[in-house]
């Protein structure tokens, strides 16, 4: 755990030091201690790289925790926080915002994304809860993918009929933490904090759920309440992350599996380590994206797919995966 934190710190430092333009560490230090807003290098560090690193960390924590919670809640190893319709709902509302309400700046997207994420998840959760058994994993998964498919179709429909929306969305949809200022960071902070606390506190309940609904009830847990709180946490976390950075795939799916290799199945430990591995993964991918294609950059959403996925596959092959 401590090793993890150290790695995170190192990676964060690297994130501030590395970029498309070469800035010496001395200048980096200088920009923090003696900030001069007329110096372009100082501007790059303080206005670009620093918020980028901060948002990367926050997004990584959010996605890591949301992924763990989603898999615990649905008892499905291939569950992804996007399953509750979050990333598609967010994208849909951003698209609606651009197409019909003239949203242009990134900070304008944030609110749309969050509302969309929340609404989609509420719809999924309510529909899945109909009936005596409530929101079973199976129903959550199925309704979630149905709603995601419907949102996806709506998004494509709007985007194909309006070239300008396509042009705005096709870049946002890739998922990136570049170009987001401090305003985006502050906007996502409240929901992020609440979501994080909620998720971390659910560790014991998730352990119970993993044994099966009946066993959990037998142990005195309120299964429906756990599900509700878990879903809320996922929405808050995933919603904030998508609102800030666009839909970054795969982190929520892969992080729990990677973490479980080191911690075993106890959800309390898995959650805690996910909150560290998540941001490390996001920042590492972002750094790679900055240096791999000069003089331009590759977005973090693309790099996570290219690097995270093979790494994940290698992991799946190598270890005997502990059951969920």
Taken in order 257, 258, 264, 268, the sign of the CA dihedral is: negative
Candidates 61-69, 114-122, 164-172, 203-211; binding stretch for another protein (CB under 8 A): 164-172
- C-alpha distances out from residue 16 to 22, 119, 176, 279, 290, Å: 11, 35, 16, 14, 11
- 136 is a site residue for another protein (CB under 8 A): yes
Q: Judged by CB, which is closer to another protein: 58, or 236?
A: 58
Q: Judged by CB, which is closer to another protein: 193, or 262?
A: 262
- 173 is a site residue for another protein (CB under 8 A): yes
- Choosing from 13, 14, 154, 288, the residue that interacts with another protein (CB under 8 A) is 154
- 299 is a site residue for another protein (CB under 8 A): yes
Kindly identify the residues of this chain, within the stretch 33-62, that bind another protein according to CB under 8 A. 37-38, 40, 43-44, 47-48
Kindly identify the residues of this chain, within the stretch 93-122, that bind another protein according to CB under 8 A. 102, 104-106
Ordered DSSP codes for 29-50:
HHHHHS--TT-HHHHIIIIIIH
- Choosing from 51, 91, 196, 257, the residue that interacts with another protein (CB under 8 A) is 257
- 157 is a site residue for another protein (CB under 8 A): yes
Q: Judged by CB, which is closer to another protein: 136, or 204?
A: 136
Rounded Cα gap, residues 243 and 110, in angstroms: 5
- Choosing from 116, 203, 249, 256, the residue that interacts with another protein (CB under 8 A) is 249
Q: Judged by CB, which is closer to another protein: 100, or 171?
A: 171
- 132 is a site residue for another protein (CB under 8 A): yes
Size of the site for another protein (CB under 8 A): 82
Phi, psi of 33 (to 5 degrees): -80, -45
Rounded Cα gap, residues 284 and 302, in angstroms: 13
Q: Judged by CB, which is closer to another protein: 139, or 275?
A: 139
Buried b (16+ CB within 10 A) or exposed e, 91-100: bbbbbbbbbe
- 182 is a site residue for another protein (CB under 8 A): no
Q: CB of 183: closest distance to another protein in angstroms?
A: 11
Ordered DSSP codes for 192-212:
HHHHHHHHHHTHHHHHHHHT-
Kindly identify the residues of this chain, within the stretch 68-87, that bind another protein according to CB under 8 A. 76-78
Phi, psi of 202 (to 5 degrees): -90, 5
Rounded Cα gap, residues 15 and 18, in angstroms: 6
Rounded Cα gap, residues 77 and 97, in angstroms: 34
- 133 is a site residue for another protein (CB under 8 A): yes
- Choosing from 253, 258, 282, 284, the residue that interacts with another protein (CB under 8 A) is 253
Q: What tokens appear for 150 in the block?
A: 């419907």
Q: What tokens appear for 183 in the block?
A: 């305003």
- 183 is a site residue for another protein (CB under 8 A): no
Number of neighbours of residue 314 by Cβ within 10 angstroms:
10
Q: CB of 91: closest distance to another protein in angstroms?
A: 12
Number of neighbours of residue 257 by Cβ within 10 angstroms:
21
Q: CB of 1: closest distance to another protein in angstroms?
A: 25
Kindly identify the residues of this chain, within the stretch 185-244, that bind another protein according to CB under 8 A. none
Residues 6+ apart with CB under 8 A from 39: 31
Binding mask 263-282 for another protein (x = CB under 8 A): --------------------
Candidates 4-12, 233-241, 260-268, 302-310; binding stretch for another protein (CB under 8 A): 302-310
- Burial of residue 34 (CB within 10 Å: 0-12, 13-18, 19+) is exposed
């Amino acid at each position: 755990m401590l090793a993890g934190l150290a790695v995170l710190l190192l990676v964060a430092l690297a994130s501030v030091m590395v970029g498309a333009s070469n800035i010496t560490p001395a200048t980096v230090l200088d920009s923090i201690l003696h900030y001069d807003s007329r110096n372009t290098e100082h501007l790059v560090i303080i206005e670009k790289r620093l918020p980028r690193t901060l948002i990367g960390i926050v997004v990584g924590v959010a996605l890591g925790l949301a992924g763990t919670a989603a898999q615990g809640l649905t008892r499905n190893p291939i569950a992804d926080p996007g399953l509750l319709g979050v990333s598609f709902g967010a994208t849909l509302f951003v698209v609606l915002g651009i197409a019909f309400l003239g949203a242009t700046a990134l900070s304008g997207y944030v609110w749309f994304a969050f509302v969309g994420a929340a609404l989609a998840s509420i719809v999924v959760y309510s529909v899945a809860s109909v009936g005596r058994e409530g929101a079973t994993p199976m129903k959550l998964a199925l309704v979630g993918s149905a709603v995601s498919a419907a949102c996806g179709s709506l998004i494509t429909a709007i985007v194909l009929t309006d070239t300008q929306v396509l042009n705005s969305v096709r870049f946002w949809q890739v998922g990136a933490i570049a170009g987001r200022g401090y305003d985006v960071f502050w906007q996502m902070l409240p929901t992020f904090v609440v979501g994080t606390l909620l998720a971390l506190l659910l560790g014991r309940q998730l352990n119970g759920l993993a044994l099966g609904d009946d066993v959990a009830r037998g142990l005195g847990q309120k299964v429906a309440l756990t599900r509700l709180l878990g879903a809320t946490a996922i929405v808050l976390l995933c919603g904030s992350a998508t609102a800030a950075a666009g839909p970054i795939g795969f982190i929520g799916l892969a992080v729990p599996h990677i973490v479980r290799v080191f911690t075993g199945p106890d959800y309390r430990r898995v959650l805690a380590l996910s909150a560290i591995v998540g941001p490390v993964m996001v920042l590492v991918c972002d750094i790679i994206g900055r240096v791999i294609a000069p003089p331009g950059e590759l977005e973090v959403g693309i790099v996570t797919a290219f690097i995270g996925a093979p790494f994940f596959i290698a992991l799946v092959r190598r270890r005997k995966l502990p059951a969920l």
